[in-house]
Chains A and B, each alone.
Chain A
Amino acid sequence: LSAAPEIPKEDGRPKWDNKFQYILSCIGFAVGLGNVWRFPYLCQIHGGGAFLIPYFIALLFEGIPLLHLELALGQYLRKGSIRAWSTISPYLEGVGVGSWMVSVLVSLYYNTVLTWVMWYFINSFQEPLPWSACPLNENRTGFNEEFSESTAVNYFWYRKTLNITPDIAESGTLQWWLILCLAACWAIVYLCTIRGIETTGKAIYVTAIFPYLVLTIFLIQGLTLPGATEGLIYLFSPNLNTLKNPRVWLDAATQIFFSLSLAFGGLIAFASYNPTKNDCEKDAVTVAIVNSMTSLYASIPVFSVLGFKATTAYWDCLDRNIINIINEFDLPEESIMRQNYTSWISFLNSSYPEKIAGLKLKSCDLQEFLDQSVSGTGLAFIVFTQAIILMPGSQAWAILFFIMLFSLGLSSMFGNIEGVFTPLLEIQILPKSAPKELLSGIICLISFLIALCFTLGSGSYWIDIFDRYAGSVPLLVIAFFEVIGVVYIYKIKRFSKDVEWMTGRKLNLYWQITWRFISPLLLLIVFMAFVILQMQKPPIYTAWNPKYEGFPMKEEKVYPPWVQAICVLLAALPCMCIPLVALFHLVKQKRRSKDPSLVPSEVFSCQGANS
């Protein structure tokens, strides 16, 4: 039996100003950059509308149950991740430590991505946009060599922003402009998280709601662009054959998992500031559904703009061919238009095949342009920026777009930082008299100093590594142990009574089944499939090397062994926390049991009694 918790009503724990702030913080944490630049890409490559089927199944059986578990846990125990897990069982404290570590690693590189967004934002005030202009060579008769092979947008991203080195082993120098932006980003994070949820609660009203406004504006603008409908049809036309590929199901499961920001400890921290008598079940369902709806909503303007870009590229291809033909055959201007291009080409091909062959015309296929799918930073900083140049009033659109990306990322950063801040506050790493502002200041300062290595020339390669290894496998492991820990160690009967006490109604069958069997099984399968697929892929990365023959294609290189060791370390370290901390507590317990003079730790007093 579990007694009602003897938690005093006024325990001095900070609390949310109102329920809306809490929901908004959870939504802001879940809705991040991935909703804008990963979900539309997955939809595109996995058969359009058909992808929604595995996506919603994963949401139902993995996303919502795990979300509810974390929120209920945090709300009931009213503690951050490390203390919460040590309350469940001291042997599970490692789960909390692991999620704390992942939050640290992710905060480091996530804010550097925001640094890039900020750099683009402050450059958007320039007229004309700096990524539309081409740098000239010395005698001003042509364009810079590196640019002439690639495009202005690529040049601005790889050279003016990242100043990327051709190899991860070459660190290059610190880019001072990125350091300035990084300092500004960490200062903003400090400003917003300075007193924990007191300040993030106020900031979240802006950072969580503003992106929806901008997405709506982009939606309206995007739908009026030529070619938008082609893009949308391409995105949403379902291709059910892709569902036979298990890769699609794996991608859906991992997308839901990472999109909801589970296993970071941030959600537990947010929920711990709630009053205990709060309906966490409804909250979990609300947050999960809003997150998925946002992904869908965001993919509409993204694909309208991509369709517009593909159509414009297709028209440019046609126009270039038309000009070449007109010049070659000295035909009057506007004799060949886009509409009668194909009939002209067939006529000329039959009459003058050698001349046509000599022109080396590129074949223009709209489908091919639409098929060029990009995700991640490539989507935002290369494809979208190129599309923005083509829009009228491009400066305003650029500013709006980058502020939106910044808000999306910032609200996710709040969750990450909260996952770092709350456990540190609870284990009292600083004396109790020290103000909270000092702890958040120290966290931001140390993170800024460590993140300086991402501003090196090879920084973006390192961010890819962190994203691929630190922000993926450990989370799956931690989430698996979370479910197992609550369901089988804390015991599901006890937990359901706790949840019943909090929400005021009995846990229904759906939760029982998913928590007990489906979610852990699903997590195990996803984890194994993910690891197997990662191991099958050779550890290669693509490098931007102007001296490569295939330039502007990126060169595929293998990670040097020391980098591979770091990758393994990043993935393994948070996972190793779980057995290591358990071992530590086991050893401590054995030592205590051997020496009866020691006062037994109060943590063990209640654990054995309850079943």
Chain B
Amino acid sequence: MLRALLLTLSVVAIAHAELCKPDAQNAFKVRISIKTALGDNAYAWDANEEYLFKAMVAFAMRRYSSKSSTQISNVLLCNVTDRVSFWFVVTDSSKNATTVPGSEVEAAIRMNRNRINNAFLLSDKTLQFLKITSTLSPPVEPSTPVWLIVFGVVLCLIVAGIVFLIVSGIQKHKKKNKESTERENLEEKVEVTLENGIPCEALDLKPGHINGVFAADDERFTSL
């Protein structure tokens, strides 16, 4: 009895060893960089984390194929290094000692990549599935490009400035014209009343106006 048990266990172990080894068929290499992602909050990679990983892969397979036949024991891990990196395969419980085709595993992981990343507090870059490319998220583009809005603001300011300067220029021009015509009118009026430098009003049109220059006191003339 004991011998039979030992035999079955060793067969299973060998079978597992055969199924999960580096570059085996349908096996994937995973590389995890915890310290890069979390820095001081990094956790250590131990057997519990491996259990969680197996659970997440099983979850992904279940969600993808919608049949609840995949168990945690179906996910085999091997060659765990200090890096932390390891290989894993998913065995098919219905067919003995075979692995689920790589394309299925890949599709399942792809579909649930976000959930798997979040379970470990990692990202696509720090939890790498080496043969599975991740879909990159496109950059967020607002409906109107930002630069167009800024450009509109700048242009409005410029146009406002130009209009203001032109209008003030026209006003100044008009004021200058008005001032110069006023000044001309004033000068004309003054000219009309200036006659030889003497305002006409001062010129007395009375005859016999005594010329002050020559009309001196009688004392000026020598007395006869």
A: which residues have CB within 8 A of B?
Answer: 119, 122-123, 125-126, 128, 133, 135-136, 140-143, 177, 180-181, 184, 187-188, 190-191, 194-195, 199, 326-327, 330-334, 435, 437
The size class of the interface chain B forms with chain A is 20 to 34
Neighbour of B158 across the interface among A125, A188, A333, A334, CB < 8 A: A188
CB pair A194 B162 closer than 8 Å: yes
Q: Give 18 A-B contacts (CB < 8 Å), ordered by A residue.
A: A122-B147, A122-B150, A122-B151, A126-B146, A128-B139, A140-B136, A141-B134, A143-B136, A194-B165, A326-B83, A327-B85, A330-B81, A333-B34, A333-B35, A333-B83, A333-B84, A334-B35, A437-B165
A332-B147 contact given A188-B158, A191-B161, CB 8 Å threshold: no
Docked complex Cα distance between A126 and B142 (Å): 10
A199-B139 contact given A126-B146, A180-B151, A333-B34, CB 8 Å threshold: no
CB pair A331 B165 closer than 8 Å: no
Neighbour of A435 across the interface among B138, B162, B169, CB < 8 A: B169
> With a CB–CB cut-off of 8 A, which chain A residues contact B36?
333
Neighbour of B136 across the interface among A141, A190, A331, A334, CB < 8 A: A141
CB pair B165 A133 closer than 8 Å: no
A435-B81 contact given A136-B138, A191-B162, CB 8 Å threshold: no
Question: With A194-B162, A334-B35 given, can you name 15 additional A-B contacts, CB distance below 8 Å?
Answer: A122-B147, A125-B147, A125-B149, A126-B147, A133-B139, A140-B135, A140-B138, A141-B135, A142-B136, A184-B155, A190-B162, A191-B162, A330-B81, A333-B36, A437-B165
Docked complex Cα distance between A125 and B173 (Å): 41
Q: Which 7 A-B pairs have the closest CB atoms?
A: A330-B81, A332-B82, A330-B83, A122-B150, A126-B146, A122-B147, A333-B35
Flag whether B2 is at the interface (Cβ < 8 A): no
For residue A118, give the distance in angstroms from its CB to the closest CB of chain B: 8
A331-B135 contact given A122-B151, A187-B158, CB 8 Å threshold: no
A191-B147 contact given A136-B138, A333-B36, A435-B169, CB 8 Å threshold: no
Docked complex Cα distance between A487 and B146 (Å): 57
CB pair A194 B83 closer than 8 Å: no
CB pair A437 B136 closer than 8 Å: no
> With a CB–CB cut-off of 8 A, which chain A residues contact B203?
none
CB pair B133 A141 closer than 8 Å: yes
Docked complex Cα distance between A142 and B133 (Å): 9
CB pair A187 B159 closer than 8 Å: yes
> With a CB–CB cut-off of 8 A, which chain A residues contact B165?
191, 194-195, 199, 437
Docked complex Cα distance between A141 and B83 (Å): 26
Neighbour of B150 across the interface among A125, A128, A133, A143, CB < 8 A: A125
> With a CB–CB cut-off of 8 A, which chain A residues contact B215?
none
Docked complex Cα distance between A334 and B134 (Å): 25
Q: Which residue of A lies closest to B135 (CB)?
A: A140
Docked complex Cα distance between A142 and B149 (Å): 30
Neighbour of A184 across the interface among B139, B149, B154, B161, CB < 8 A: B154
> With a CB–CB cut-off of 8 A, which chain A residues contact B85?
327, 330
Docked complex Cα distance between A331 and B83 (Å): 5
Docked complex Cα distance between A331 and B34 (Å): 13
Docked complex Cα distance between A184 and B134 (Å): 43
For residue A334, give the distance in angstroms from its CB to the closest CB of chain B: 6
Docked complex Cα distance between A141 and B113 (Å): 14
For residue B32, give the distance in angstroms from its CB to the closest CB of chain A: 9
For residue A535, give the distance in angstroms from its CB to the closest CB of chain B: 43
> With a CB–CB cut-off of 8 A, which chain B residues contact A437?
165-166, 169
For residue A136, give the distance in angstroms from its CB to the closest CB of chain B: 6
Q: Which residue of A lies closest to B153 (CB)?
A: A122
Docked complex Cα distance between A605 and B196 (Å): 39
Flag whether B33 is at the interface (Cβ < 8 A): yes
> With a CB–CB cut-off of 8 A, which chain A residues contact B133?
141-142
Docked complex Cα distance between A187 and B156 (Å): 11
Neighbour of B169 across the interface among A125, A126, A195, CB < 8 A: A195
> With a CB–CB cut-off of 8 A, which chain B residues contact A195?
165, 169
Flag whether B31 is at the interface (Cβ < 8 A): yes
Q: Which residue of A lies closest to B33 (CB)?
A: A333
Docked complex Cα distance between A119 and B154 (Å): 12
Docked complex Cα distance between A326 and B85 (Å): 11
For residue B182, give the distance in angstroms from its CB to the closest CB of chain A: 19
Most B Cβ at <10 Å: residue of A141, A188, A333, A334: A333
For residue B58, give the distance in angstroms from its CB to the closest CB of chain A: 26
Q: Which residue of B lies closest to A137 (CB)?
A: B136
Interface residues of B in 106-158 (CB under 8 A from A): 133-139, 145-147, 149-151, 154-155, 158
Q: Which residue of B lies closest to A436 (CB)?
A: B169
Docked complex Cα distance between A128 and B141 (Å): 11
A125-B146 contact given A187-B159, A191-B165, A195-B169, CB 8 Å threshold: yes
> With a CB–CB cut-off of 8 A, which chain B residues contact A330?
81-83, 85
For residue B2, give the distance in angstroms from its CB to the closest CB of chain A: 38
CB pair B158 A184 closer than 8 Å: yes
Q: Which residue of B lies closest to A199 (CB)?
A: B165
Q: Which residue of B lies closest to A194 (CB)?
A: B165
Neighbour of B162 across the interface among A128, A142, A143, A187, CB < 8 A: A187
Interface residues of B in 70-117 (CB under 8 A from A): 81-85
Interface residues of B in 161-178 (CB under 8 A from A): 161-162, 165-166, 169, 173
> With a CB–CB cut-off of 8 A, which chain A residues contact B83?
326-327, 330-333
For residue A606, give the distance in angstroms from its CB to the closest CB of chain B: 34
For residue B41, give the distance in angstroms from its CB to the closest CB of chain A: 14
Most A Cβ at <10 Å: residue of B35, B134, B162: B162
CB pair B151 A181 closer than 8 Å: yes
Residues 17-42 of chain B, each 1 if its beta carbon lies under 8 Å from chain A, else 0: 00000000000000101111000000
Neighbour of B155 across the interface among A136, A187, A194, CB < 8 A: A187
For residue A110, give the distance in angstroms from its CB to the closest CB of chain B: 18
Q: Which residue of B lies closest to A181 (CB)?
A: B151
For residue A592, give the distance in angstroms from its CB to the closest CB of chain B: 39
Q: Which residue of B lies closest to A183 (CB)?
A: B155
Neighbour of B173 across the interface among A140, A142, A143, A435, CB < 8 A: A435
Docked complex Cα distance between A126 and B158 (Å): 22
Docked complex Cα distance between A471 and B36 (Å): 52
> With a CB–CB cut-off of 8 A, which chain A residues contact B158?
184, 187-188, 191
For residue B142, give the distance in angstroms from its CB to the closest CB of chain A: 9
> With a CB–CB cut-off of 8 A, which chain A residues contact B134?
141
Docked complex Cα distance between A180 and B147 (Å): 11
> With a CB–CB cut-off of 8 A, which chain A residues contact B81?
330
Docked complex Cα distance between A190 and B161 (Å): 10
CB pair B173 A327 closer than 8 Å: no
Docked complex Cα distance between A435 and B159 (Å): 19
> With a CB–CB cut-off of 8 A, which chain A residues contact B33?
333
For residue A421, give the distance in angstroms from its CB to the closest CB of chain B: 15
Q: Which residue of A lies closest to B83 (CB)?
A: A330
> With a CB–CB cut-off of 8 A, which chain A residues contact B34?
333
CB pair A184 B151 closer than 8 Å: yes
For residue B164, give the distance in angstroms from its CB to the closest CB of chain A: 9
